């Protein structure tokens, strides 16, 4: 049956059907990119290293936190309301559709980490290559309409027409250019300046981001505060603590409890710091309601 479907394949119709399914099931953005554009990625993290027959790279963006979650003055709300698992599940559904309906290989790239605590694939590069967003001064890929979105990437041997990168980047937004010209900063830089203990640095020149600086280690410590790295840190300290009462306090205290909650019952609660995105004007109309 798969062979018969392959012989009669109309790539244009297949692409329309696949991206249509993604949109109906919650993707805010669904585009196709050329996997060869990630050919400069480190060995083992290229699309062909994961799926040797890969011809197309489908990038889905969606499952952003709700406006109410963005608006809550309690940052702990974002720590426990994981939404990334929704878009990861959609990636699995799209991969299943491609294999069952069209008879081609499809692989939903894992969103977890591989050896050396590295990602299986550069999701940001995949999104940029497909036009599912553009790089930002803050770091995450931004969609011009929705701003920050979680991503899923499906690699497939199904040959589809590529959409390609965006002609106009979402960052810097006009409001950021205006703020830079008047104050020498932007919303994300002002909230997390690398020169003031934060993670972000850079400049805007003629409407283009230049000289971007990013403290990855500092950012990672904040983003994954209560997730697996936090669990590992507490466990190491507990094993090295000779006092039984202190060990019990460490294991039953609020920090370790939050850490256990985040990696067990809270879905995907990795992103505990989203302050740069909270103040970002790109997609702000989706976050600012009444």
Model pTM? 0.86
Q: Is 128 helix (H, G, I), strand (E, B) or coil?
A: helix
pLDDT at 1: 42
The pLDDT tens digits for 96-110 are 999 999 999 999 999
The pLDDT tens digits for 158-211 are 999 999 999 999 999 999 999 999 999 999 999 999 999 999 999 999 999 999
Q: Looking at the predicted structure, is the pLDDT value of residue 15 above 60?
A: yes
Q: Looking at the predicted structure, is the pLDDT value of residue 270 above 70?
A: no
**Cα–Cα distance measured from residue 22 to residue 83, given in angstroms and rounded to the nearest whole number:** 16
pLDDT at 82: 63
Give alpha helix (H) positions in 41-155: 47-50, 67-71, 76-80, 84-97, 123-130
The pLDDT tens digits for 33-47 are 999 999 999 999 999
Residue 32 · residue 140 · CB < 8 Å: no
């Amino acid at each position: 049956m798969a062979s018969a479907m392959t012989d009669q394949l109309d790539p244009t119709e297949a692409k329309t059907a696949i991206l249509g399914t993604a949109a109906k099931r919650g993707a805010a953005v669904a585009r196709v990119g050329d996997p060869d554009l990630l050919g400069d990625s480190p060995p083992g993290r290229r699309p062909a290293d994961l799926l040797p027959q890969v011809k197309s790279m489908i990038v889905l963006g969606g499952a952003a936190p709700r406006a109410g979650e963005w608006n809550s003055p309690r940052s702990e709300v974002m720590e426990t309301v994981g939404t990334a698992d929704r878009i990861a599940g959609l990636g699995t559904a799209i991969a299943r559709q491609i294999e069952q309906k069209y008879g081609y290989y499809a692989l939903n790239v894992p969103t977890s980490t591989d050896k050396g605590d590295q990602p299986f694939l550069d999701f940001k590069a995949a999104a940029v290559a497909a036009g599912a967003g553009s790089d930002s001064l803050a770091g995450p890929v931004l969609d011009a309409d929705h701003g920050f979105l979680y991503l899923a990437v499906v690699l497939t041997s199904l040959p589809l027409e590529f959409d390609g990168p965006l002609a106009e980047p979402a960052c810097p937004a006009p409001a950021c250019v205006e703020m830079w010209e008047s104050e020498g900063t932007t919303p994300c830089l002002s909230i997390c300046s690398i020169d003031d203990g934060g993670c972000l640095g850079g400049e805007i020149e003629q409407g283009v981001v230049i000289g971007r600086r990013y403290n990855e280690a500092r950012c990672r410590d904040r983003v994954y505060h209560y997730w697996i790295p936090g669990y590992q840190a507490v466990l190491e300290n507990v094993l090295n603590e000779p006092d039984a009462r202190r060990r019990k306090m460490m294991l039953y205290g609020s920090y370790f409890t939050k850490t256990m909650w985040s990696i067990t019952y809270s879905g995907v609660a990795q992103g505990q710091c989203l302050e740069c995105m909270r103040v970002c004007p790109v997609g702000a109309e989706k976050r600012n309601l009444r």
